[in-house]
Each structure stands twice: as C-alpha cells, then as structure tokens.
C-alpha cells in the first residue's frame, strides 16, 4: 500500500522530536544538578505521563489528517480509511511514548556510565528512535490492516 509510505516520515520525525525534547530536558537538569541518578524512576514516570497526553493529541491530529487528506486513495479490499487512520494514529501514539522514554533514559544511562549525556543524546536517540519508530509503524499497520 503506497499510502503507508506517505505517513512514515510523520511518525519518524515526530518520534525524533519527542525523544530529542525529552533528552534535552534531562540533560539540562543533569547539567544544572537539578536531577540525581537516584531520581530516575520519578523522571521516567513524569516523562511517561507527559508523553501520553502529547501522544493522544498527536494521534487525534494524525487521524484527522489521514481522514481529510487520503479520502480518495485506493485501498485494498477489507481496508477502510478509518482503519488506516486508526493504524497510523496508534503507531504515532506508541512512537511518541517510546521516543520520550528513550530520550529520558539514555542521558541517565550515559551519566551513570560516566559519559557526557549531551554528547550521547542526539545521535543515539535519533538512531534508536528511527529504528523503533519504523518497527512500531510496520507492526501496527500490518497487524491492524491485516497485511502480510
């Protein structure tokens, strides 16, 4: 389904942005000594709660985008536009959650390993989030749409 390729960058880019933002907040807090490594569970819980709200909002927006912009796309038998929009929205939601958690945890792991979190954060997060994002996207779309 060619239409799936149109929404892949949206999922990947959103994940990269969410992960980078989360990492930036954590790196800044570490640099200013506002955060200790022992606080990792509290930090991860806070980032998770925030990512749920952001993910839900972005999932709703992406669902509307798919419904509005892809209404005359040719879909295989048994696949509806609403199902396609749901699959993409779910993938985006899960991508925001995982990217935010990765963005929060990676700088903490770097600090614990005595590596500068600011140096590790951006390239590692981008790579990990891009890979996980595509896996999430393809899993959600193939499972929900019944593609094989």
Question: What is the per-residue pLDDT for 131?
Answer: 93
Q: What is the pLDDT of residues 93-117, one digit of tens each?
A: 999 999 999 999 999 999 999 988 8
- Cβ pair 44, 105 in contact under 8 A: yes
Integer Cα distance of 99 and 14 in angstroms: 9
Q: What is the pLDDT of residues 10-29, one digit of tens each?
A: 998 999 899 999 999 999 99
Integer Cα distance of 129 and 18 in angstroms: 9
Burial class (CB in 10 A: 0-12, 13-18, 19+), 70: middle
Integer Cα distance of 92 and 66 in angstroms: 12
Q: Mean pLDDT, the chain, as a whole number?
A: 91
DSSP 8-state code for residue 39: G
pTM score, whole prediction = 0.91
Alpha-carbon 121 to chain mean position: 15
Q: What is the pLDDT of residues 112-135, one digit of tens each?
A: 999 888 887 777 888 899 999 999
In Å, how far are 29, 41, 85, 109, 137 from 93, measured between CA atoms?
26, 22, 12, 24, 10
């Amino acid at each position: 389904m060619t239409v799936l390729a149109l929404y892949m960058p949206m999922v990947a880019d959103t994940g990269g942005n969410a992960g980078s933002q989360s990492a930036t907040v954590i790196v800044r807090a570490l640099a200013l000594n506002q955060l200790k490594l022992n606080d990792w569970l509290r930090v991860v819980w806070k980032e998770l709660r925030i990512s749920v709200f952001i993910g839900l909002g972005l999932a709703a927006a992406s669902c509307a985008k798919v419904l509005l912009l892809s209404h005359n796309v040719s879909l295989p038998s048994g696949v509806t536009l609403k199902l396609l929009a749901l699959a993409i929205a779910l993938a985006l939601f899960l991508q925001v959650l995982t990217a935010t958690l990765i963005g929060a945890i990676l700088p903490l792991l770097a600090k614990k390993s005595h590596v500068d979190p600011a140096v590790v954060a951006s390239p590692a997060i981008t790579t990990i989030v891009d890979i996980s994002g595509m896996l999430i996207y393809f899993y959600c779309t193939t499972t929900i749409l019944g593609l094989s």
